Amino acid sequence: MSDDVQSRWENLAGRYGLAGQPEWRKLLNHFDLSEGFALVVLLTVEADGAALCRHELGQHLHARGQQLIAIELPTPDALRQLPGHFLDTPLSPGDACLWVAAVEPDYSKTYAEWRDAWQQTLARLNAFRNPIRDKFPLTLVFAGAPWLQGVMRETAPDLWSVRTFVTRIEPLPQISPQSPTAQTTILPSSGDTGGGQTTTLATSDDTGGGDPLFALEAADKLRGVPGKELALANLLHRAGDGFANLQDWRSAEKAYSESLELKNRYHAPPPSLLDTLVNLGGACITVGQIQPAITLFEQARQIGRQIGDRLVEAAMLGNLGSAYLDLGDARTATKLSNESLTIARELRNRKFEGNALGILGNACLNSSDVRKAIAYFEQELAIAREVRNQDSECSAVGNLGRAYASLGDFQKAVEFLEQAIALARKIHNYRFENILLSNLGIAYRGLGQTQKAIECYERALAKARQISNKRMQNGILGNLGNAYRALGNTHKAIEYYEQSLLSARASGCRFGESANLANLGIAYQDLGQRRKGLEFFEQALVIAREVGDRRLEAGTLWNTAVVLEQMNDLTQAIQRAEAALKIFQAIEDPNAAKVLEQLATWRGQK
- When asked if residue 157 is in the footprint of other proteins (CB under 8 A), the reply is yes
Site residues for other proteins, 273-332, by CB under 8 A, read: 306-308
Is residue 470 a contact residue for other proteins (CB under 8 A)?
A: no
Report, in Å, the least distance between residue 453 CB and other proteins.
52
For residue 65, state whether it binds other proteins (rule: CB under 8 A).
no
Residue 114 parent element (H or E):
helix 111-126
521 to each of 377, 515, 538, 592, how far by Cα in Å? 33, 10, 9, 20
Residues 318, 338: Cα–Cα separation, whole Å: 9
Fill in the amino acid letter for 487: L
Among 8, 26, 492, 594, binds other proteins (CB under 8 A): 26
Q: With CB under 8 A as the contact rule, which of the stretches 146-154, 406-414, 415-423, 428-436 interacts with other proteins?
A: 146-154
Of 32-40, 421-429, 461-469, 522-530, which part binds other proteins (CB under 8 A)? 32-40
Q: Give the whole-angstrom CA distance, residue 158 versus residue 151.
A: 13
Query: Any contact of residue 155 with other proteins (CB under 8 A)?
Result: yes
As a whole number of angstroms, the distance between CA 471 and CA 180 comes to 8
568: left (phi over 0), alpha (psi -120 to 50) or beta: left
Nearer to other proteins, 309 or 589 (CB): 309
CA-closest candidate to residue 321, choices 340, 300, 344: 340
- Contact (CB, 8 A) for 172 and 69: no
270 touching other proteins, by CB under 8 A:
yes
- In the complex, what is the shortest distance from the CB of residue 308 to other proteins, in angstroms, rounded to a whole number? 3
Of 308 and 590, nearer to other proteins (C-beta) is 308
DSSP secondary structure letter of residue 90: -
Among residues 4, 32, 63, 65, the one that binds other proteins under rule CB under 8 A: 32
* Alpha carbons 355 and 380: distance in angstroms, whole number: 7
Return all residues near 333 (Cβ < 8 A) that are at least 6 apart: 321, 322, 324, 325, 359, 362, 363, 366
Q: Is 84 in the site for other proteins (CB under 8 A)?
A: no
Minimum distance of other proteins from residue 267's CB (angstroms): 5
* C-beta closer to other proteins: residue 32 or 88: 32
| Nearest of 175, 155, 151, 148 to residue 45 by alpha carbon | 148
**Binding region for other proteins (CB under 8 A) out of 244-252, 265-273, 289-297, 548-556:** 265-273
- With CA atoms as reference, report the closest residue to 260 among 304, 308, 300, 208: 300
Q: Is 348 in the site for other proteins (CB under 8 A)?
A: no
Rounded to the nearest whole angstrom, what is the least distance from the CB of residue 30 to other proteins in the complex? 6
Q: Which of 13, 78, 123, 579 binds other proteins (CB under 8 A)?
A: 123
The Cα–Cα gap between 364 and 383 comes to 19
162 binds other proteins (CB under 8 A): yes
* Cα of 248 vs its chain's centroid, Å: 17
165 touching other proteins, by CB under 8 A: yes
Amino acid residing at 457: Y
Residue nearer to other proteins on the CB measure, 131 or 210: 131
Residue 124 or 452 having the CB closest to other proteins: 124
Question: SS3 for 331?
Answer: helix
Q: Does 137 interact with other proteins (rule: CB under 8 A)?
A: no
The alpha carbon torsion through 29, 30, 33, 37 (nearest 10 deg) reads -170
Number of residues that bind other proteins (CB under 8 A): 41
Restricting to residues 102-121, which ones interact with other proteins according to CB under 8 A?
119-120
Can you tell me the distance from the alpha carbon of 413 to that of 411, in angstroms, rounded to the nearest whole number?
5
Name which of residues 230 to 249 contact other proteins (CB under 8 A).
230
Among 166, 373, 517, 562, binds other proteins (CB under 8 A): 166
Strands 139-144 and 165-169, by their bridges, are unpaired
CB of 169 to other proteins, least distance (A): 13
Question: Of 9 and 128, which CB lies nearer to other proteins in the complex structure?
Answer: 128
- Residue 269 interacts with other proteins (CB under 8 A)? yes
* Cα 588 from Cα 368, distance rounded (Å): 9
Instruction: Tell me: does residue 62 bind other proteins (CB under 8 A).
Output: no
Which of 87, 91, 127, 600 touches other proteins (CB under 8 A)? Answer: 127
Residue 150 within binding range of other proteins, rule CB under 8 A: yes
d(CA 335, CA 342): 11
| Sequence-ordered list of residues with C-beta below 8 angstroms from that of 226, at least 6 positions apart, any chain | none
| CB of 48 or CB of 116, closer to other proteins | 116
Query: Which member of 168, 471, 510, 551 binds other proteins (CB under 8 A)?
Result: 168
Q: Please, are residues 235 and 219 in contact by the beta-carbon 8 Å criterion?
A: yes
Measured from the CB atom, the residue of 30 and 492 that comes closer to other proteins is 30
CB atoms within 10 A of CB 316: 29
Nearer of residues 14 and 22 to other proteins, judged by Cβ: 22
Q: Is 38 near other proteins (CB under 8 A)?
A: yes
* Position 345 contacts other proteins (CB under 8 A): no
Between 222 and 325, name the residue whose CB sits nearer to other proteins. 222
Closest residue by Cα to residue 296 from 308, 304, 284: 284
In DSSP terms, which residues pair with 42 in a beta bridge?
A: 143, 167
Give the 3-state secondary structure of residue 214: helix
Question: Does residue 342 touch other proteins according to CB under 8 A?
Answer: no
Q: Does 3 bind other proteins (CB under 8 A)?
A: no
- Cβ distance 8 to 134 under 8 Å? no
- Residue of 1, 2, 3, 33 interacting with other proteins (CB under 8 A): 33
Q: How far is the CB of 471 from other proteins (least distance, A)?
A: 34
Dump the DSSP string for 159-190.
HHHT--EEEEE-PPP------PPPBPPP--TT
Per-residue 3-state assignment (H helix, E strand, C coil) for 48-84: HHHHHHHHHHHHHHHHCCCEEEEECCCCHHHHHHHHH
Residues that bind other proteins (CB under 8 A): 22, 26, 29-30, 32-36, 38, 119-120, 123-124, 127, 130, 149-150, 153-155, 157-158, 160-166, 168, 230, 265-270, 306-308
